[in-house]
Amino acid sequence: MATKWKIDPTHSDIAFKVKHMMISTVTGFFNEFDGEVETENDDFSGAKINFNVSIDSINTKNEDRDAHLKSDDFFNAAEYPKMTFVSKSFDGENLVGDLTIRDVTKEVKLDVEYLGTAVDPYGQTKAGFEVTGSLNRKEFGLNWSAVTEAGNIVVSDKVKLQLDVQFIKQ
């Protein structure tokens, strides 16, 4: 029988890192998201994973930059308010699934480290994971680009993903 798990947003972070002018890294977060896992195994292999993120919740600690990222230059949050992920396979370490950003769906592969399961002081069973990977933003229609006078690219095409997530057994 399958066990369902829901994401615990209080103990989870959805972050991304992008090179700025190829000399520094900007980190951003999405503050609103939800997801669930359905599994029949204690090690979560073969689990079905569904995840969605509210684009409007993007936070890079700079309101002007956040507004630019929400615009049609990047995510177009008004027309495409959600980013979604639906798993195709998970062997306990390698997670493959369809990521949809804007109106583009591409298969991505993510590395997963299962950190274990524990019962909290309130009797809830929780499972923790670190999920990492990278993608090319232009493959998802996030095409805005600029070059400085010195010839440096302002925003790199490569985006690193870092998800630290905890799920609560339902």
Mean pLDDT computed over every residue of the chain: 93
Altogether, the residues listed in the chain come to a count of: 170
| pLDDT tens track for 14-23 | 999 998 777 7
CB atoms within 10 A of CB 101: 23
Q: Are 129 and 116 in contact (CB under 8 A)?
A: no
| pLDDT of 146 strictly over 80 | no
> Which domains are seen in the chain, by residue range?
14-111+132-161 (2.40.128.110)
The single-letter code of the amino acid at 80 is Y
| pTM reported for the whole predicted model | 0.92
